[in-house]
A and B are shown apart, each in its own frame.
Chain A
Amino acid sequence: MPDLTTNCGGIISPNPFWLASAPPTNTGDQIMRAFDAGWGGAVWKTLGQPVQNVSSRFGAIHHRSSRAVGFNNIELITDRSLELNLKEMVEVKKRYPKHAVIASLMVDTRQEWHDIVKRAIDAGADGLELNFGCPHGMCERGMGSAVGQEPKVNERITSWVQEVSTIPTLVKLTPNVGDIIPHGIAAQRGGANGVSLINTIKSIIGVDVDHFAPMPRVGMQSTNGGFCGPAVKPIALHMVAALARDHEFKLPISGIGGITNWRDAVEFMLLGASSVQVCTAVMLYGYRIVGDMIEGLEDYMRAHQFERLDDFIGKAIPNFSEWGDLDINYETVAQIDEEKCIGCQACVTACMDGGHQCIHPREGTRVPVVDEDECVGCNLCQIVCPVPGCVSMVEVDNGFAPTTWNEHIWDQKAIRPKKGAH
């Protein structure tokens, strides 16, 4: 039986699946139901000076038959009193001593930070998460992403917390920056035990074209929100990986951003995350999705003979390199399985209009043919093909030894002739 026990910056949980600080962790009752469903930890909806929220609050991108492939919100931190939240936190920890309860915090002054950190610790929190990421509303008040976008402020506030904290601290980073590295380093300098990322991406989810207003509408107006959901996963993966492979950055990472199933979680962990946090998928499907996540992760670990999470956390990082260090002589071409092909020729259109014009219809059959002399191995046909396993990208032995662009430039190593550059 694989051991899913998780340690992220000193915060221990029975599995790596945590609920992110968001509506699903608004109350103690919700968090306890989530723990009953199988979640290993929960980051409490950000505590601070309770807010008044607007109506409406959420928007989504629906793509074809898929609802909410992207999601955004203009909701702020908790609107419940600190006393009520902490009272419930005490109750949760009493009933679920082995689960991780992390208090997400967002206040303004040093004194406020000291006060709220102490109260969270007194309520039994296993860790703290400093919300330096919220890109809407709170940042206008000098908090959230306003902190996360300034490494000096990030470092200073993180150090304020360390002045009084006796439990692990994660700093939640905003992706609304050009380069994530200095922000992770700032948290490290401030004394954080780990970072969590990404928070949401500053966004306008859409425009009401009949009322001429952005969405979600609050009357006839709207504001930018924070974007999340499956569509942000690639951005999150990159930021997690960028920090994970940075030589100066040493902290554990709690990965966040579009995680919906066990495979998403594994991907984050392979790029360096030691726990993962989920919000949008739970908002859309409920707490019960964690069952598939745990089962899928366990089966994945069994299949690869991993006994504990550390056996694979970060395992893909060495294979994340610069473009100039890729093997430019590695060559693939598309191959269509004639038995599996259903003849839609979506690959023909894609290759003609968006590729390199190397997939062609043939007389007498709907199965197209790949002109391998022209195929650049771009994957587009495989991406548009609706039949699983029908298009394969097959490695070609072109006789050229592996060579990178950098080696070609500096050492004059031979590279193969260009294809498709007609």
Chain B
Amino acid sequence: MTEKIPATIPPAPHRAEAAFKDFKPPYSEMQALAEANRCIYCHDAPCIEACPTSIDIPEFIRKITTGNLKGSARTIFASNILGMSCARVCPVEVLCVGACVYNEEGGAPVQIGRLQRYATDHAYAEGWRFAEAGAPTGKHIGLIRGGPASLAAAHELRRLGHACTIYEKRALLGGLNVSGVAPYKIRADRAAEEVEWVLGIGGIELKTGVEVGEDLSLEALEAQHDALFFGFGLGPDSRLEVQGEDIKGVRGAVGFIEEMKLGPVDLSGVEHALVIGGGNTAVDAVRELVTLGVPKVTLVYRGVEAGMKGYAHEWKQAKIEGVEALWQALPMYFKAKDGALIGVTCARVDEDKQLIPGSEFKVEAQLALMAIGQSKLGALLGDLEGIEVLRGRIIADEAGRTGRAGYFAGGDCVNGGKEVVNAAAEGKAAAVAIDAYLKTSSLKGAHHA
């Protein structure tokens, strides 16, 4: 898909995602005050514990109630510079909101995400900025790819006074926050505004269209930088490796979502679409296809409903929106007519996900999206001495330190594919670890003296 990524976000009419409305619309002042005033201001609040970036949630909510909206936003951004997008895209139901003590009495938990959106949207609208670059240290860090992890790391590094260069093979920064998040949570243009806002701290050099390993060697990077941060995310959609997977109408879900978010998509003639998988990308994709007007959308998952990796609250909403499901089913081959998909032959699998012989059945469909995971790119660094790669994931400690001195990593390439908020937390933690590393060491000459 790389070649299809535009250099800038096209205006709304030229993006299919523009058809989506916010699933959780912004609060009015009245709504925000009513919700904020429900917060109990817990001691040692469980919501803070549940937030990967440890935002002081009771504090930012209390500041909304006191009319200190600026302070509220300051509190959020002090912990998470990507607080604006996280307010929208975080699965709060399983994080802060899920930890709210109101759940204990079966009541409605405080809608922390929507309050965070209220505060951070105001900061953007008013142009409030809270962080400044630190006094120059003379150190220079290279960050590979420009997704959420690298942006969070670069921002923190700039606060600490280190120079930064982000190497991004695409023309756009922002990673999956721009090109992958469901548009009913955040649209690409808004995510791109966050990239600009983060870069607003100044001193972050961008080198786009540069693919490390192809256009630029690691040796060259090591020679130029005092430390390196790898936040290169995940690779292309995984494949089932079954017959017919390359015909028109069968494609990867992440690629499709990216296309829909950054440009138009043509779904004419699609009466029935299948999404194969049971994770969050699959659940996003079925909901997206419904809103894009596909009359019938079916999730095809090899496990049972209770075994889905996708969040239960998201899948529940998909069902409300009319999505159907085929449980314990697996596509065997895709059938084309005139070069385009017309149907899929599936087979049933048992509880151990083993094929049940003779259980094949046919489903007519004109579109099938593979949402069975993305390939892991750890091998990019796998040959380097000291770097450990486990099933495609780079091994790093909680501070982002890899086994190779001066090499730090965070985000999906380490955690295997989690949330934006995890990438934000890991990027920031790595920046702190890099700063500590630079007090005594430098990558320059460390490995190729």
User: Interface of A with B (CB < 8 Å)?
Assistant: 64-65, 340-346, 348-349, 361, 366, 386-387
A to B contact number (C-beta, < 8 Å): 38
- A340 CB contacts on chain B under 8 angstroms: 105
* Distance (whole angstroms) from the CB of B315 to the closest CB of chain A: 28
A65-B34, A65-B37, A348-B43 in contact; A342/B65 too (CB < 8 A)?
no
Task: Fill in one digit per residue for B91-131: 1 if any A CB lies within 8 Å of its CB, else 0.
Answer: 00000000001101100000000000000000000000000
Task: Pick from A65, A361, A366: contact of B101, CB below 8 A.
Answer: A366
- A345 CB contacts on chain B under 8 angstroms: 42-44
- Interface pairs (27), CB distance under 8 Å: A64-B65, A65-B33, A65-B34, A340-B105, A341-B104, A342-B101, A342-B102, A342-B104, A342-B105, A343-B42, A343-B46, A343-B101, A343-B104, A344-B40, A344-B42, A344-B101, A345-B42, A345-B43, A345-B44, A346-B42, A346-B43, A348-B43, A348-B44, A349-B43, A366-B101, A386-B40, A387-B105
In the complex, what residue of chain B is closest to A390 when comparing beta carbons? B105
User: Interface of B with A (CB < 8 Å)?
Assistant: 33-34, 37-38, 40-44, 46, 65, 101-102, 104-105
Q: Is the CB of B43 within 8 A of A64?
A: no
In the complex, what residue of chain B is closest to A346 when comparing beta carbons? B40
In the complex, what residue of chain B is closest to A62 when comparing beta carbons? B33
User: What 9 pairs between A and B have smallest CB-CB spacing?
Assistant: A345-B43, A342-B104, A65-B37, A349-B43, A344-B42, A64-B37, A344-B40, A348-B43, A342-B101
- A348 CB contacts on chain B under 8 angstroms: 43-44
- B43 CB contacts on chain A under 8 angstroms: 344-346, 348-349, 361
In the complex, what residue of chain A is closest to B35 when comparing beta carbons? A65
- B42 CB contacts on chain A under 8 angstroms: 343-346
* Distance (whole angstroms) from the CB of A30 to the closest CB of chain B: 30
* Distance (whole angstroms) from the CB of B44 to the closest CB of chain A: 6
A115 to B294, CA, bound (A): 85
- B104 CB contacts on chain A under 8 angstroms: 341-343, 366
A65 to B65, CA, bound (A): 9
* Distance (whole angstroms) from the CB of B351 to the closest CB of chain A: 35
* Distance (whole angstroms) from the CB of B67 to the closest CB of chain A: 10
In the complex, what residue of chain B is closest to A361 when comparing beta carbons? B44
* Distance (whole angstroms) from the CB of B115 to the closest CB of chain A: 14
In the complex, what residue of chain B is closest to A345 when comparing beta carbons? B43
In the complex, what residue of chain A is closest to B38 when comparing beta carbons? A65
- A387 CB contacts on chain B under 8 angstroms: 105
13 other A-B residue contacts (CB within 8 Å) besides A345-B42, A366-B104: A65-B33, A65-B34, A340-B105, A341-B104, A342-B104, A342-B105, A343-B42, A343-B101, A344-B43, A345-B44, A346-B43, A366-B46, A366-B101
- A344 CB contacts on chain B under 8 angstroms: 40, 42-43, 101
- B105 CB contacts on chain A under 8 angstroms: 340, 342, 387
- B40 CB contacts on chain A under 8 angstroms: 344, 346, 386
- B46 CB contacts on chain A under 8 angstroms: 343, 366
A343 to B107, CA, bound (A): 13
* Distance (whole angstroms) from the CB of B62 to the closest CB of chain A: 10
Task: Pick from A65, A341, A343, A346: contact of B41, CB below 8 A.
Answer: A346
- A65 CB contacts on chain B under 8 angstroms: 33-34, 37-38
- B102 CB contacts on chain A under 8 angstroms: 342
A161 to B43, CA, bound (A): 60
